[in-house]
Amino acid sequence: MTTRRVHHPLFARVFVWLMSHESREQLEHRRELLDGLSGRVVEVGAGNGRNFALYPDQVSEVVAVEPEPYLRRLAVQAAGSAPVPVRVIDGLADRLPFDPGAFDAAVTSLVLCSVFDQGQALAELHRVIRPGGELRFYEHVVADEARLARAQRLADRLFWPHVGGGCHTSRDTGGAITAAGFQLQRCTRLSVRPSPLMALVAPHILGAALRP
């Protein structure tokens, strides 16, 4: 069990609503995120289990870590109909309860924006992925465009994390992945903007990094 409580009951329900209204393009991004994975996989911040149905048959087990109680209950339900074995546990990204090198790959999907300590979370992922394994990521990030990046930083200082379950719009997650010791294999920048209200979180990255 976690020692730091993660409880965002209102945002968790908004998040589930947003996931249920993802576009076909966003679904394809998720398919690309998971394509080609095999072996034992840890998914950190699994939310309501949105990815579970998309894991390829070559995956032998998914261990899904989700600290938010409402989302974790939904993830357990989603695990029951997944095409691969999925075990859902309570846990924090920066304190993963696994042995070093326990997994062939790790998946993060719209979670590194909201983890308490992004650097420590990535250090933990680096620890639990075996040498030669992969980190797959699909995350919204700080914008390349200066005006939007300024707006993101202002939103993060004033209100966004407070209404968004700890989410930050202006994190340089790609830079943090390399700083944690991963080697980027591919990283595509995307603009994902299903509505004008989502402009601050439109910049995304999708890709894979090697754990040397």
pLDDT digits over 132-165, tens only? 999 999 999 999 999 999 999 999 999 999 988 9
| Per-chain mean pLDDT for the chain | 94
E-assigned strand segments in the chain:
39-44, 59-65, 86-89, 103-109, 129-140, 183-191, 203-210
Q: Name the residue with tokens 């379950």.
A: 165
Residue 8 has pLDDT above 90, yes or no: no
pLDDT at 4: 67
pLDDT at 1: 40
* pTM (whole model) above 0.85: yes
Residue 106 has pLDDT above 70, yes or no: yes
pLDDT, average across residues 103-123: 97
Contact 112, 175 (CB under 8 A): no
* Residues recorded for the chain: 212
Contact 200, 155 (CB under 8 A): yes
pLDDT digits over 32-81, tens only? 999 999 999 999 999 999 999 999 999 999 999 999 999 999 999 999 99
Contact 61, 40 (CB under 8 A): yes
The whole-angstrom separation of Cα 202 and Cα 23 is: 13
Contact 93, 122 (CB under 8 A): no
Residue 105 has pLDDT above 80, yes or no: yes
**Percentage of the chain exceeding pLDDT 90:** 86
pLDDT at 2: 42
